[in-house]
Amino acid sequence: MNYFSSSFKLGILGGGQLGKMMLYDTRKYDIQTNVIDPNPEAPSKFACNFFEQGDLMDYETVLQFGRKVDVLTFEIEGVNIEALEQLEKEGKKVYPQAAVLRKIQDKGVQKQFYSEHHIPTSPFTVYQEKDDLTEALVRKEWEYPFVWKSCTGGYDGNGVSIIRSEEDLIPVPDVPCIAEKMIPFKNELAVIVARNPVGEVKTYPVVEMEFHPEANQVEYVICPARIDSAVAKKARELAVKVSEAFEHVGLLAVEMFQTQDDKVLVNEVAPRPHNSGHYSIEASYTNQFEQHIRAILDLPLGDTESKVGGVMVNLVGDESHEGQVKYQNIEKIMKMPGVTPHIYGKKQTRPFRKMGHVTIVHRDINKARKIAEDVKKEIKVISR
- Binding-site residues for ATP, please? 107, 149, 180-183, 188, 267-268
Do the beta carbons of residue 221 and residue 278 sit within 8 Å? yes
Q: Which residues are annotated as a binding site?
A: 107, 149, 180-183, 188, 267-268
- The DSSP 8-state label assigned to residue 1 in this structure reads -
In three-state secondary structure terms, 81 is: helix
Encoded amino acid at 51, one letter: F
Find out whether the peptide bond into 224 is cis, omega within 30 degrees of 0.
yes
Q: Where are the alpha helices (DSSP H) in 226-279?
A: 229-246
* Cis ω before 120 (30° cut-off from 0): no
Query: 368: part of which helix (H) or strand (E)?
Result: helix 365-378
Crossing angle for the helix pair 59-67 and 81-89, nearest 10 degrees?
40
In angstroms, the first-to-last Cα distance of the chain is 48
**CB 11, CB 62: distance < 8 Å:** no
Of all helices (H) and strands (E), which one includes residue 332?
A: helix 330-334
Please, are residues 238 and 231 in contact by the beta-carbon 8 Å criterion? no
Pick from 345, 340, 298: nearest CA to 18: 345
With CA atoms as reference, report the closest residue to 292 among 194, 384, 169, 182.
194
Measured distance CA(108)–CA(46) in Å, rounded = 37
**Phi, psi values for residue 8, rounded to 5°:** -60, 140
